[in-house]
Structure 1
Amino acid sequence: MKVNVNIRRRAAADEDVRKLNSIIIARLSKIDGIFRGDDVQLQAVFDPGKGESAGTYLSPFLVEGIRGGVSYASRTPGAVKDRGTSDDFIYLELDLESLNYNWFVTVVFPVIVEAFGAYRSTVVTDLDQRDDDFNKIVELCRLEKKDLKSRDGVFRIQSVNYFDDILCKRAFGIGSKEVAARLEEHVYVVREIGDGVFFITSDKPVAGPETLIIDKKIKRLLAGR
């Protein structure tokens, strides 16, 4: 079974992406158990791109069962806006035949979130549901004129989630502390980290009808019902 990890941070216009990448890779390299060897900082090659984006491919240095890298949004003058198009992100694919899911989501995932300074992060365990959701999200974004795919809302609660305080207020109308309080005793893990809330809906990857059942339950709790 393969699942996807998407960890997003808001780009800042005044950041030097090459220096930022060095900081991010240094932080990630300190996370136990996800890299082969200790020299990822020296060997991982930063690709500055051609102005529109940049990134570092990490798959050759990641342990068996993890593939992915880091991508940075354009910092060209005027490009950085309060939209998902101005997100930096870490993208990972996990192969659960080779990797312990519970270890990754409870131990590694929150550490990556903090190391990256993320505002929104998910582990998507039902890739078919993600694909089914795509056109619905695009249409809602068009109708509501909001960036519901990233900065303005949450269309689908995933198996593993992190939302910062700003996103919680935009998506749910309450701050991250209140989100944590409403989910207490209703999910597998919930705790405040950084400037937001991290929660896992179940002790195992969720797929099929259970995805929709849990999504509905969490949204009802966050709406105070």
Structure 2
Amino acid sequence: MKGVEIRLQVQYRARVDESIEACHARFTAGMQQFGPPFGWQDLEPPPAPYIKPASGDMIGVEWFRYPIKGLKLQITAQHRHELSIGTDKDTSDDRLSIEFKTSNKALDYRAILREHFPKLIEAYRGYRAWAVFDYYGGRYTDWNWGPWLGREATNPSYQRLCKEPGVDIDGRNNIFTLEPAVFWDNELCRRALGYGPEEVMRRLQGHALSVQPLLDGVYVVFDDDPALTYERFLEINKQFKELLGIA
């Protein structure tokens, strides 16, 4: 089987009163507590993302390539002086992502979702995280490649949300797309679902592959099949959005 692209995405609410360097130091300390495949035990950690003064750049980006071929990490940090105190959208988030392919024989996709991804989330102190499988999420929300390579709307619910003021779709106050594995902190659960992580666990226990508390939130694995089909992805969203009460 040809491997598909996987991206593990973690997002952190950047704050004006917390420097990029302080966030990175905390993250580095957490990553040095565990080993392969993602941890930095016995590895030289990357420097904090840097934004040149007066460069006009709004973000800083730092890459880290692991000893495992085909495994790379990217850290993106927001310019603190450019953050508006009133900004409450995920466009103001710091971001962490790890990329690899399911065909990488040095990596166990199932073990990554069940064991290693939660460690990454905890080290970064994210408020939301998800595992992107072959870009199914983008296809599910608002686009698909048609016969003429154009963009075709495929999800009317998503299109409706786009028109609602104040909704940060799959951002700080909304949960719309259910990826194979997800994490939501307490604040996101309450803002997006109207109830806390404990209720999420109650609703999903016995239905999802794995449901567990993480930080002050909940980590869920809906499916860990490295050969996941798009049809199954749609089934996951239909079944579990109904259980969660997501429109």
- 2:117 matches 1:113: no
Partner-residue secondary structure (3-state), 2:88: coil
Distance 2:112 2:23 in 1: 25
User: Cα–Cα, structure 1 residues 46 and 138, in superposed 2: closer, same or farther, change >3 Å?
Assistant: farther
Aligned counterpart in structure 2 of residue 92 of structure 1, from 91, 94, 98: 98
Distance 1:78 1:46 in 2: 18
Contact 2:31 2:120 in 1 (8 A): yes
- 2:236 matches 1:214: yes
Residue 139 (structure 1) shift = 4.3
Identity, in percent, stands at: 24
Aligned counterpart in structure 1 of residue 78 of structure 2, from 69, 73, 77: 73
Residue 45 (structure 1) shift = 3.4
More helix by share: 1
Distance 2:216 2:101 in 1: 30
User: Cα–Cα, structure 1 residues 100 and 74, in superposed 2: closer, same or farther, change >3 Å?
Assistant: same
Contact 2:5 2:101 in 1 (8 A): yes
Residue 138 (structure 1) shift = 7.5
Q: Which has the higher mean CA deviation after the structures are superposed, 3-12 or 45-54?
A: 45-54
Q: After the TM superposition, which residues 142-157 of structure 1 pair with which residues of structure 2 at under 5 Å, given as runs? A: 142-145=162-165, 146-157=167-178
- 2:36 matches 1:33: yes
Contact 1:31 1:108 in 2 (8 A): no
Distance 1:138 1:190 in 2: 26
Distance 1:197 1:109 in 2: 13
Partner-residue secondary structure (3-state), 1:76: helix
User: Cα–Cα, structure 1 residues 129 and 157, in superposed 2: closer, same or farther, change >3 Å?
Assistant: closer
Q: Which has the higher mean CA deviation after the structures are superposed, 191-200 or 77-86?
A: 77-86
- Structure 2: 5+ residue stretches without partners: 144-154
Contact 2:32 2:41 in 1 (8 A): no
Kindly tell me the number of residue pairs found equivalent between the two proteins: 221
TM-score, structure 1 length as denominator?
A: 0.88
- Structure 1: 5+ residue stretches without partners: none
Residue 211 (structure 1) shift = 0.5
User: Cα–Cα, structure 1 residues 197 and 37, in superposed 2: closer, same or farther, change >3 Å?
Assistant: closer
CA RMSD of aligned residues (A): 2.3
Distance 1:222 1:215 in 2: 10
Distance 2:102 2:224 in 1: 14
Residue 131 (structure 1) shift = 3.9
Contact 1:56 1:70 in 2 (8 A): yes
What amino acid is the match of 1:83? Answer: K
Residue 76 (structure 1) shift = 0.9
- 2:224 matches 1:196: no
Q: Which runs of 4+ in 1 moved over 4 A?
A: 134-141
Contact 2:49 2:77 in 1 (8 A): no
Report what 1:101 is aligned to.
109
Contact 2:184 2:218 in 1 (8 A): yes
Residue 167 (structure 1) shift = 1.2
Q: Which has the higher mean CA deviation after the structures are superposed, 87-96 or 26-35?
A: 26-35
TM-score, structure 2 length as denominator?
A: 0.81
Residue 5 (structure 1) shift = 1.1
Partner-residue secondary structure (3-state), 1:88: strand
User: Cα–Cα, structure 1 residues 218 and 52, in superposed 2: closer, same or farther, change >3 Å?
Assistant: same
Distance 2:6 2:184 in 1: 19
User: Cα–Cα, structure 1 residues 86 and 140, in superposed 2: closer, same or farther, change >3 Å?
Assistant: farther
- 2:88 matches 1:82: yes
Report what 2:26 is aligned to.
23
What amino acid is the match of 1:97? Answer: S
What amino acid is the match of 2:51? Answer: G
Contact 1:140 1:148 in 2 (8 A): no
